[in-house]
Amino acid sequence: MPRAELYLHSVPVNTNTEIRSARMEDLEKVAQLENRVWRELGASQDDLRRRFFVFPQGFFLAVAGPDLLGFCCSLLTDTDARLAALNETFPPRHIPRGDYFFLFGLTVDPLFRRKGIARHLVAEELALAGKLGCRKVQLIANALSRPLFEKAGLSVVRASDELFAQHRDLMPEPVLMEKVLK
């Protein structure tokens, strides 16, 4: 499928909740949730806007009417994270023809956790990676998200204790995970 045609996607989760592509006007609410959950690690609204502009197809929201329940982002890159020295800004930039799909920023409002919202967001990201013909999906998980990524078919490549060392409350036990798609 041509990459430009994947924009504006929407999937119902249940009668109240849907997973859909982010829109420019959503970014203020995204920034509010981002900063509430990630505190000192939270991206600014400008960072979120940049994320949105470089790869809008990979920016998914979980919404119930006007309420934002969660979101997830991704980028394409030409670097296999398995072979890279990771730092907190990996991947450095979006490479539109990149073969590696890097998922990041998975966040669900604490009031709506354990209802399958992250599972649905991740399923959309994995489906997108498959449609784009990517070779691998890679990400940095933590102790909270690792079980759900394992259920989605990703495996741990290695511990990444060098990452977020000052923020263990927000990123406990970081690990590099991947799913090989082809």
Ligand X SMILES: CC(C)(COP(=O)(O)OP(=O)(O)OC[C@H]1O[C@@H](n2cnc3c(N)ncnc32)[C@H](O)[C@@H]1OP(=O)(O)O)[C@@H](O)C(=O)NCCC(=O)NCCS
Q: Given the rule CB under 6 A, which residues bind ligand X? A: 37, 106-108, 113-119, 141-142, 144-145, 147-148, 151
Between 33 and 76, CB nearer to ligand X: 33
β-partners of residue 61 are 20, 71
Query: For the purposes of burial, counting CB atoms within 10 Å of the CB of 170, is it exposed (0-12), middle (13-18) or buried (19 or more)?
Result: middle
| Greatest Cα pair distance in the chain | 43
Long-range CB pairs of 79-87, under 8 A, 24+ apart, other chains included: 80/136, 80/138, 81/138, 81/157, 81/176, 81/178, 82/138, 82/157, 82/176, 82/178, 86/140, 86/160, 86/162, 86/163, 86/176, 87/163
State in angstroms the smallest separation of the CB of 138 from ligand X.
12
Between 27 and 139, CB nearer to ligand X: 139
Between 57 and 107, CB nearer to ligand X: 107
C-beta of residue 176 within 8 angstroms of C-beta of residue 156: yes
State in angstroms the smallest separation of the CB of 140 from ligand X.
6
State in angstroms the smallest separation of the CB of 78 from ligand X.
22
Sign of CA dihedral 48, 131, 17, 179: negative
Tokens of 119: 């599972």
State in angstroms the smallest separation of the CB of 97 from ligand X.
26
C-beta of residue 121 within 8 angstroms of C-beta of residue 72: yes
State in angstroms the smallest separation of the CB of 151 from ligand X.
6
Between 52 and 164, CB nearer to ligand X: 164
State in angstroms the smallest separation of the CB of 64 from ligand X.
13
Between 3 and 115, CB nearer to ligand X: 115
Between 3 and 144, CB nearer to ligand X: 144
Neighbours of 175 (CB within 10 A): 21
